[in-house]
A = this chain, B = another copy of it.
């Protein structure tokens, strides 16, 4: 009778070694049970799920800790946009093998972010796959009953606002792939690193969640490209929008790429992976929302206005001319 008869299986040992330290919520039962129990405290449990796939959402050689952070943060970003406070997550990890060094770094990144965002691991499933690594996370947030902010709800006259800067991540991916952005920034490693960082490790705006709940009429996070995601928000709200493109917040690094004509505005508007909050805010609430963002330390910029109609949102340049977009956003199919 071999040792493995009485000892834990490879799968159980993997979970105990790498992921048990993340299971800090009592409802996780130390990851020793088949399910977790989320105490809802009479609130709504807001649920979101997002997966990242090797070669699609991240590159094979990316640091394991950044892969873990991205997998969790893309979900945290959804919770932030919905005005929900993080409560925990479950993790499905499909691996080709169980390389200890990769797993240790992955778990470390996940643990740090779970702690930093107050979103502990509640459970999960580890499976083997012959294909690319895939990390699927379902995250839970809490919001007082009925207060989750929807994509619908924007009305004509509302300001359109966005956090952070737009277009960095798609340029960061271009740097990693050795594209035109890499050449344009050949002499500027700080700018390259900044853009790569924006691609690999999104900065979800959870600090703004309460203000979003208090002031926004409609929200979503920008994950597939600002242009396409704004179109989705408008469609869900039954409205249209006009955006002043020169108002869209662009980082210095991205500005340098634009200046060297390695990418144009349309690329920034339709690139994915921004993970910023896009929202519509009634005019009367813009000042208070902006003040809340300032206190939370989150950059927030008004970029346009909701208008009546069902046409696709228009993006205008400094001369008021419409910017032609070949595609609005990234689509998997």
Query: Which A residues have a C-beta under 8 Å from some C-beta of B?
Result: 1-2, 4-6, 9-12, 14, 27, 29, 32-40, 42-53, 55-57, 78-79, 81-82, 84, 90-92, 94-95, 97-98, 122-132, 134, 136, 138, 140-141, 143, 145, 148, 150-152, 220-221, 224, 228, 231-232, 236, 312, 324-329, 331-333
**A48 contacts which of B5, B11, B36 (Cβ < 8 Å)?**
B36
CA distance A273 to B215 in the complex (A): 49
**A127 contacts which of B131, B150, B332 (Cβ < 8 Å)?**
B332
Q: Which residues of B contact A129 (CB under 8 A)?
A: 53, 56, 131-132, 134
CA distance A9 to B2 in the complex (A): 54
**A132 contacts which of B36, B126, B130 (Cβ < 8 Å)?**
B130
Nearest chain B residue, comparing its CB with the CB of A225: B9
Return A5 CB to nearest CB of chain B, in Å: 6
Q: Which residues of B contact A46 (CB under 8 A)?
A: 35-38
Nearest chain B residue, comparing its CB with the CB of A331: B9
Q: A56-B127, A324-B1 are in contact. Are A331 and B90 (CB under 8 A)?
A: no
**A40 contacts which of B1, B29, B44, B148 (Cβ < 8 Å)?**
B44
Nearest chain B residue, comparing its CB with the CB of A1: B324
Do A45 and B40 touch (CB < 8 A)? yes
CA distance A236 to B35 in the complex (A): 14
Return A212 CB to nearest CB of chain B, in Å: 12
Return A300 CB to nearest CB of chain B, in Å: 19
Nearest chain B residue, comparing its CB with the CB of A4: B327
Return A145 CB to nearest CB of chain B, in Å: 7
CA distance A44 to B12 in the complex (A): 26
CA distance A329 to B127 in the complex (A): 14
Q: Which residues of B contact A43 (CB under 8 A)?
A: 40
Nearest chain B residue, comparing its CB with the CB of A45: B38
CA distance A148 to B34 in the complex (A): 10
Return A182 CB to nearest CB of chain B, in Å: 24
Do A37 and B33 touch (CB < 8 A)? no
CA distance A94 to B55 in the complex (A): 13
Q: A9-B331, A332-B127 are in contact. Are A138 and B90 (CB under 8 A)?
A: yes
Do A35 and B90 touch (CB < 8 A)? no
Q: Which residues of B contact A123 (CB under 8 A)?
A: 47-49
Do B127 and A34 touch (CB < 8 A)? no
Do B45 and A45 touch (CB < 8 A)? yes
Do A332 and B49 touch (CB < 8 A)? no
Do A5 and B328 touch (CB < 8 A)? yes
Nearest chain B residue, comparing its CB with the CB of A232: B12
Do B333 and A10 touch (CB < 8 A)? yes
Q: Which residues of B contact A14 (CB under 8 A)?
A: 333
Q: Which residues of B contact A56 (CB under 8 A)?
A: 127-130
Q: A5-B325, A51-B136, A236-B33 are in contact. Are A126 and B333 (CB under 8 A)?
A: yes
CA distance A103 to B57 in the complex (A): 23
Nearest chain B residue, comparing its CB with the CB of A148: B37
Q: Which residues of B contact A326 (CB under 8 A)?
A: 1-2, 5
Do B47 and A98 touch (CB < 8 A)? no
